[in-house]
Structure 1
């Protein structure tokens, strides 16, 4: 195995290990996590909203949040490679790797790591706090006589729910922060920043800001729907949206190589890696995406 293949293999293995280290705890929380059991007050009006189905189901959230950015990234990187000159193929395990595949690996890999990191932060806080959702009473129907005057101002910690839906009983304790808001904020804010760095097509002055606007609008609409669907309190949504936005900015600026600091500003970064392969860089043409 030549030196370049060894370098790339080491790089890929470390990247995969890092991604798995962040991803496996998310799966653990989903399968085995037990939220902190927080109590309630009988006169807490914020917990007495009706249960409603989500306007933005989880399946739609993940499909749009992942499909739209990843497909766009693959298309834009393909156009960059076609329009650039001098991008040499990498050699991995004796076989050449097309520059487009390598670029997609880097861009999508960082995006996936950021999504997983933001999701893990949300899960850690969710399960540690165990805040009750606005539809708590409707889902749980606690076996407590809230009409009893002695229970009106009493903080009730030990109670049983008159429900057998274990999934809903678990989810009712995972209100803070909003996972939908955090995920949609990260994916769409990061996507908007990616477009700012890589989409430089001169054919239209408004296409890029239009796509960025639609992306952010989808994110904001998802966050607002969580309040109107009584899935979260407004503070849950604000915290989730803030977490996703900050995580996206940190990932785009400090983790990815989308931007490089030049003269105190942000500019499109050329790939600079100290590795045993031939270095290459984009042609810098501004007339391409």
Structure 2
């Protein structure tokens, strides 16, 4: 059955909806960019006590020297969901394509008089688009928390290198609150002031939870009863190990990692439940929309009285059927 073109009113609503989504997505990307790569939002300068052992852990080098460097984390967080969702949607579509149900279904969905989208493309772009939006949202939440709190890293005093004599730290309880107290590298000091919440923990648990819920809700094939929880728990374990590595390398406190886990979990759960509705949706369209199948639904729901002619035709059909069988 060919897809019907949309009316002018429906096309106008569609274009407005697409334009609104593009504007929201562009605004989210720009806000994440300003947080990440500009000094538009200044970091809160949090003070410290002299000789505070909470912030005297060793500095193990820049982030690139970590066991989970940013390049590896971002590549996995961006590449693995894209690959897994694309492959899964393609396999599910091909399975239904070869089934008998596909012959009775529409193979395209109209998005206007000139454009038609395959259901495979539509679902893949939808799930990946929501996932990408969530990534930038997690980044914004994390950066906002880091800028507002200015929480100090466990190695802060190691890179700060304060001159305790000049600061008058004869007593360990003296509180230092001015930024000029540090004499170390300014880039390292700025990075050491942005630890709460942990971005690595938030991004890793967001990606893991989103993929775990996608696999659990989408794949319904036989023989996957054990494979799905194993894959889901494996992804969550990787996210958990990422958080542990941040604490083990003295790059974050436990509170930073836990806060990152909470943010990533909350955003992934909200998007899956409220935006993509647990990834529900048909791979292919039904033969007719509910409105086309039952144009007079309201009238059919009302009480209906058969006419004498209808009763007679029904009785004749029943007799004919009995004679044939």
TM-score range, shorter chain: 0.7 to 0.9
- Quote the residue 1:169 is aligned against: 189
Equivalents in 2 of 1:108, 1:279: separation in Å?
A: 26
For residues 253 and 132 of structure 1, the distance between their equivalents in structure 2, rounded to whole angstroms, comes to: 35
Q: How high is the TM-score relative to the length of structure 2?
A: 0.75
Gaps of 5+ in 2: 97-101, 291-325
The more displaced of 155-164 and 70-79 is 155-164
Match of 2:46, SS? coil
1:90 counterpart residue number? 109
Residue 42 of structure 1 corresponds to: 50
CA distance in 2, matches of 1:156, 1:171: 19
SS of the residue corresponding to residue 141 of structure 2 reads helix
How many residues align? The count is 267
Q: How does 1:66-215 map to 2 (within 5 A)?
A: 66-84=78-96, 85=102, 86-92=105-111, 94-145=114-165, 150-158=170-178, 159-164=180-185, 166-215=186-235
1:165-215 superposed Cα distances (whole Å, 9 cap, x missing partner): x43222110111111111111110111011111112213432211211211
Among 244, 251, 261, the alignment partner of 1:224 is 244
Counterpart position of 1:264: none
Is the 8 Å Cα contact of residues 119 and 283 (structure 2) preserved in structure 1?
no
Which of the two has higher C-alpha Rg?
Answer: 2
Pick one of 247, 251, 256 that aligns with 1:236.
Answer: 256
- Contact 1:87 1:99 (8 Å CA) reproduced: no
1:19 equivalent in structure 2: 25
Which deviates further from its counterpart, 85-94 or 178-187? 85-94
How far 1:87 moved relative to its partner? 4.8
SS in 1 for 2:164: coil
Q: TM-score, normalised by structure 1?
A: 0.84
Task: Structure 1 unaligned segments of length 5 or more: list them.
Answer: 260-267, 281-289
Q: Distance in 2 between matches of 1:176 and 1:141?
A: 21
